Amino acid sequence: MGLRVGDIGFGSGHCLLDRRVARGIGKLHRRDRGLSSSAVKLTIDAGVFAISLTSLVIRKPFTLQYAREMVDAETAQLAGFMRANYIITWAWTGAFLLMMIANVLMIYVPGLPLWSGIAIAFAARNSAVYFTKWYPGYRKAKYAAPHANALPVIR
């Protein structure tokens, strides 16, 4: 059974993809026992980065399915909704890239303290999580129509 483009999204396809990625990493690790944990992490991060970037290239941001589950159908049809998903997916793509860089540093700069790679990966992931939670509210506040009793904005 081959991987289809529709499997790139989250939801039930995400579970299927996670199982396939985990199985592939397990096979890779069994085949080469000398593979370090940083190399395994790099492989996983590169895979998720590729999925994220591919979702942008095929114009189906990987955050889209989750986002549609969180809003009503009317909101999901707005042009700004799609733009917000592209921006959030780009934030995650950047986070995955930073995590890959941290793993590459851990592999090729052995004198680097272990905590530095962990700190970079932690900061990248948590920044993407925070941005994902913050950005929709920011966008709603910025582009929402002002209330009838609101004071005029002076620019």
DSSP 39: H
The answer to whether the CB of 59 falls within 8 A of the CB of 110 is no
Q: Residue 46 falls within a domain, yes or no? A: yes
Q: Please give the residue range of the domain that contains residue 138.
A: 5-143
Q: Residue 125 falls within a domain, yes or no? A: yes
Q: Residue 83 falls within a domain, yes or no? A: yes
- 53-75: b (≥16 Cβ within 10 Å) or e: bebbeeebbbbbbebeeeeeeee
Q: Residue 155 falls within a domain, yes or no? A: no
- Predicted confidence band of residue 29 (pLDDT cuts 50, 70, 90): low
Distance CA 101, CA 95 (A): 10
* CA dist 49 → 4, 139, 143 (Å): 17, 25, 30
Tell me the Cα Rg of the chain.
19
115-153: per-residue pLDDT in tens?
Answer: 888 899 999 999 999 999 999 889 888 877 666 666 666
Residue 150: other Cβ atoms inside 10 A: 8
The whole-number pLDDT of residue 127 equals 96
* Number of domains the chain is built from: 1
